[in-house]
A and B are shown apart, each in its own frame.
Chain A
Amino acid sequence: QQQVKQSPQSLIVQKGGISIINCAYENTAFDYFPWYQQFPGKGPALLIAIRPDVSEKKEGRFTISFNKSAKQFSLHIMDSQPGDSATYFCALNAGANNLFFGTGTRLTVIP
């Protein structure tokens, strides 16, 4: 199975701060790199996604940075809010059949 390494495992950030979560992958045969947000008792919800032909994508306070040569991509949450407290998963799309998820990062934003 494809390996996706996600870090950190947990993250505590003050309100208004920047949250940064990183993912690294091994295989180059991926064409879609989404981030999912999951609240307790709920399914993962798509937050933001990027394709490998761009290096950065911004949607509101959320930015994905993508480094194709290093096989890394990261999620930046600007002006973090307590409502952002959740578990975040990076994922890789492997063709038409599957999403491979990272191990998750539990983010806590302190008021």
Chain B
Amino acid sequence: EPEVTQTPSHQVTQMGQEVILRCVPISNHLYFYWYRQILGQKVEFLVSFYNNEISEKSEIFDDQFSVERPDGSNFTLKIRSTKLEDSAMYFCASRDRNYGYTFGSGTRLTVV
């Protein structure tokens, strides 16, 4: 079964450093998403991406965040200057035309 692949599985970074989280969505999906989940809490929407541009973003997705699809397969989330409160699980998802979202296994980001 097709999978969404995320790397790394765990990233530890110092506060103020930049991090890039990587995702390889399912190849024939057209819609891409980033969500995050702070430990023990609900899954929160960050941003959606379609046709090489952001289609919607939440208030969490401020100027410190950016997304990019640098080539035909990768989808990245960049946090420019990490804060302690950015520590969370970050999930990438991709979707087909019938609302079938598939989530990756996540990247656990720890900011120290």
Q: Which A residues are closer than 8 A to B by beta carbons?
A: 1, 31-32, 34, 36, 41-46, 49, 89, 93, 96-104
Contacts and interface: CB of A to CB of B under 8 A. Distances in A.
Contacts of A44: 43, 91, 103
B56 A43 contact: no
Contacts of A46: 100-102
B99 A93 contact: yes
Interface of B: 4, 31, 33, 35, 41-45, 48, 50, 55-56, 58-59, 91, 93, 99-106
Nearest to A44: B103
Contacts, number: 58
B45 A42 contact: no
Given A99-B101, A100-B45, 4 more contacts: A44-B43, A97-B31, A103-B41, A104-B42
Nearest to B108: A41
4 nearest interchain CB pairs? A43-B103, A97-B56, A101-B43, A32-B99
